[in-house]
Structure 1
Amino acid sequence: MGLERVTRCLGTNSRGDEHRNDDDDSVARMKAAAEALELKEKEKPSFELSGKLAAETNRFRGITLLFNEPPEARKPDVRWRLYVFKGGEVLNEPLYIHRQSCYLFGRERRVADIPTDHPSCSKQHAVIQYRQVEKEKPDGTLSRQVRPYLMDLGSTNKTYLNEDPVEPQRYYELFEKDTIKFGNSSREYVLLHENSTG
């Protein structure tokens, strides 16, 4: 029942005279109820993104992550590996980085996939993200490939790709034999895959 209809029905008696004062309270209550009903009809639920849900889902082990995987994130079909060198010596077994779509590097061991313990490294320093992208073949046709990309997460002491500092929050495509360094650490991470030749 709309507000006008309620007031028409309750505002006057059959002779058109005003109701007595004791009826005025019930009329006011009915008007208020009608107004509340109209307001309720006007208010529709909002399904817009507030950002609060994203903030909650971007937490892992109680830590807010500085990075969200993009929609084009994919697990690689090539078995990529990182070989870790210090002073020209291989430090340990290669790091196999083909089992998930993203690898986080940093000092915060609760969230880092690959810890970088050097004091010049940030808690969440950088990521290697695999992304599905379109690449042009030599014959001019396009094909979809899953490629590795490096992104610095705004680290204090930078990330280096082949000795050059990378800009933060920007993807850099990685290629076989690329060398990555984090902060002032002397460790070098060399990217190879299972079919790489010396």
Structure 2
Amino acid sequence: MYIPRQRAYLLGRHRHIADIPTDHPSCSKQHAVFQYRLVEYIGPDGKTGQKVKPYIIDPGSGNGTFLNNQCIEPQRYYELKEKDVLKFGFSIREYVLLLESSDASEVDQKEEEEEEEEWTWQ
């Protein structure tokens, strides 16, 4: 699923308002929010700049949001990195975050890239 850079996406069971539906009964109607945020960073040369990065927040779902098999704290933003795995509630469906340029056959070969690119779910 291609995720263009709009400000935020609501994930949840409520199909009339969720941008990305999570149909499992253990998922809340408004389960989590995927958001692009502009953050400051310090480069290796010490210069500062701004960059858009993806984040996930669980607003207080009933059965939790899992990032790389760890339950995240509600109402706290977590920065997402390429090939992070998200799960919602007790669903066994996994969402893997990939750069648009990623080769799915190389999922185990993680490379850090500083380029701004579009993100996809797989």
TM-score, length basis structure 2: 0.83
Task: List alignment gaps of at least 5 residues for structure 1.
Answer: 1-94
Structure 1 residues 185 and 148: CA distance shift in structure 2, 3 A: same
Going by fraction, where is strand more abundant, 1 or 2? Answer: 2
Contact in 1 for aligned 2:13/2:23 (Cα 8 Å)? yes
In structure 1, which of residues 119, 129, 137 is the aligned counterpart of residue 25 of structure 2? 119
What's 1:184 paired with? 90
Q: Distance in 2 between matches of 1:164 and 1:124?
A: 20
| 2:74 maps to 1:196 | no
**Change in CA separation of 1:130 and 1:99 when aligned onto 2, cut-off 3 Å:** closer
Q: Which amino acid aligns with 1:177?
A: K
- Distance across 1 between alignment mates of 2:58 and 2:64: 7
Task: After TM superposition, give the deviation of residue 143 of structure 1 in Å.
Answer: 1.2
Q: Deviations over 1:110-168 (max 9, x none)?
A: 11000000000000000111000001111111110000000001000000000000000
Moved over 4 A (4+): none
Going by fraction, where is helix more abundant, 1 or 2? 1
Larger Rg: 1
Percent identity, please. Answer: 63
Paired residue secondary structure (1:135): strand
TM-score scaled by length of structure 1: 0.51
Matched, 1:174 2:80: yes
Letter in 2 for 1:188: E
| 2:6 pairs with 1:100 | yes
Question: Larger relative CO (CA 8 A, sep 6+): 1 or 2?
Answer: 2
Deviation at 1:99, TM superposition (A): 4.1
Following the alignment from structure 1 to structure 2, what is the Cα–Cα distance between the partners of residues 144 and 108? 34
